[in-house]
Amino acid sequence: MTARPRVAVIGGGIAGLAAALDLAERADVTVFEAKDRLGGPMQTVDFAGTRIDTGPDSFLARRPEMIDLATRLGLGHTLVAPAVGEAAVWSRGALRKMPAGMVLGVPRSMKSLAASGIVSRAGVARAALDKVLPRSKVGADIGVGDLVRRRLGHEVQERLVDPLLGGIHAGRSELLSAAVAAPQLLGAARGARSLMESLPTLPPSSDPVFLTVPSGLGDVVGAALAALDAAGTTIATNTPIGELRFAAGGCDVVSVSGDAIAFDGVVLATPSPVTARLLTRLAPDAASALSTVTYASVVLTLFAYKSDALREPFRLSGFLVPRPEKKLLSAISWSSAKWAHHRGEGTELVRASTGRIDDRRHEDIDDADLVARLHDEIVAAIGLRAPAPIEARVNRWPNALPQFKVDHLTKVAGRSHAAAAQAAFPLALAGSAYEGLGLPACVASGRAAAARVLDALKA
């Protein structure tokens, strides 16, 4: 092929944008996005006199992909780590600090677990059996919660691992693939008999675990859009794609309104139900694997309080709420403690998370009532003296977080990538539904899809 190939990227979230940035170096690219804005849940809004994220507010710094992307987009020098690392769990009637040095909710020592008070004495005694129970048989994959429950008992699973890992995924930790969500624990389980004693050593505490762009992660999306514009990429927002049609030498991308444009290759970076629908005839095996992925809906509500409503300054990055507490809240991020750039004069900024795969109560609660009920729970948790927040904003993210069941990497990700590679034109899949939903994994997935399509176009 001598002229620059034409490649469509369908879905303008971070995975699609990462794919488009690489593709644009060697192809004429069009990004099709159903909504009126790019970035999916990466969105920064004006709130209480500042700018704050309504979706992701940070990313894992121990993977390079988001740091590399921010650097490539001219934002690398702005990256900052949280000002506070310590967090708590709202467990057994009180906020209790999490044991230091945990790996994905698994404590490093019995002493730190007992001192935290997060589990009962019986729970501590059960966790101690980890050191004497026979080694657990672990295959290629296992539910994270299942693994932890076997070794350390149900209290550690329900009150530490599930709120932490289940919270990130808004899922149930028993069903969550350890290979996707907790490879460190899977590796440890294959080590010595005791899970606790096999935990990987932590990197030096000077290395940040998380980073963010202080002006908001929406700025990564804005910078990606500017870079794509400069590279001559066409950005078609408000353009949901309804069909992909094989055409001689390539593929017709057909919008829901019926417009068809011919492309030589396609990156599909849409959520699995959409991807499955678009691939029904072109790659039926991928469509059938992807149609098994379910999604959790979550709500992220922003609150602003006057600082003098606090009895004493809140110095933790936030707290998690275990399922057995039966609250609407699943987690609180106390942004004004967590981030130096959110320390406002006399104002506290708080991000409250609600909703899990098996907790859809928020869907039946209107915004005003949700704010009131979450506020009451925040008051109960930290003893706030405020009849109401000074400002609140509800951000609903329906069907936003894919659930990775055991064996997801082989049965869904591997199978659908393989089926896409067999399509009659260069096609690759990207996004949070494959190798992980964290932003670095999404960027990696987008870049890998771009490389696969470019390779296929060369062949």
CB of 332 to ligand FAD, least distance (A): 13
Containing H/E element for 384? Answer: none
* Nearest one of 328, 290, 273, 294 to 401, comparing CA atoms: 294
CB of 12 to ligand FAD, least distance (A): 5
CB of 233 to ligand FAD, least distance (A): 15
Radius of gyration of the chain (CA): 23
Closest to ligand FAD by CB, 384 vs 400, is: 400
| Spatial separation of the C-alpha atoms in residues 389 and 195, rounded to whole Å | 43
| Spatial separation of the C-alpha atoms in residues 188 and 201, rounded to whole Å | 11
CB 63 within 8 Å of CB 443: no
Q: What angle do CA 94, 99, 102 make, to 5 degrees?
A: 135
- Listed in sequence order, the residues at least 6 apart from 244 whose beta carbon sits closer than 8 Å to its beta carbon are 251, 252, 253, 254, 266, 268, 278, 279, 282
CB of 262 to ligand FAD, least distance (A): 17
In this structure, which amino acid lies at residue 317?
A: S
- Listed in sequence order, the residues at least 6 apart from 42 whose beta carbon sits closer than 8 Å to its beta carbon are 13, 14, 53, 55, 56, 217, 218, 220, 221, 439
Closest to ligand FAD by CB, 269 vs 279, is: 269
Q: Which residue is nearest to ligand FAD (CB)?
A: 40
Closest to ligand FAD by CB, 145 vs 318, is: 318
CB of 122 to ligand FAD, least distance (A): 34
CB of 377 to ligand FAD, least distance (A): 18
Closest to ligand FAD by CB, 78 vs 112, is: 78
CB of 181 to ligand FAD, least distance (A): 12
Chain positions contacting ligand FAD, by CB under 6 A: 10-16, 32-35, 40-42, 55-59, 240-241, 269-271, 274, 298, 300, 397, 400-401, 431-432, 437-439, 442
Closest to ligand FAD by CB, 157 vs 270, is: 270
Closest to ligand FAD by CB, 107 vs 436, is: 436
3-state secondary structure of 131: helix
Closest to ligand FAD by CB, 136 vs 291, is: 291
CB 370 within 8 Å of CB 349: no
Closest to ligand FAD by CB, 322 vs 431, is: 431
Q: Which residue has the tokens 């988001």?
A: 66
CB of 242 to ligand FAD, least distance (A): 7
CB 88 within 8 Å of CB 96: yes
What Å distances lie between residue 368 and 50, 301, 362, 371, 389, CA to CA? 22, 11, 11, 5, 12
| Spatial separation of the C-alpha atoms in residues 338 and 268, rounded to whole Å | 35
In this structure, which amino acid lies at residue 380?
A: A
CB of 187 to ligand FAD, least distance (A): 21
CB 258 within 8 Å of CB 243: no
Closest to ligand FAD by CB, 317 vs 432, is: 432
| Spatial separation of the C-alpha atoms in residues 222 and 228, rounded to whole Å | 10
CB of 432 to ligand FAD, least distance (A): 4
Closest to ligand FAD by CB, 41 vs 123, is: 41
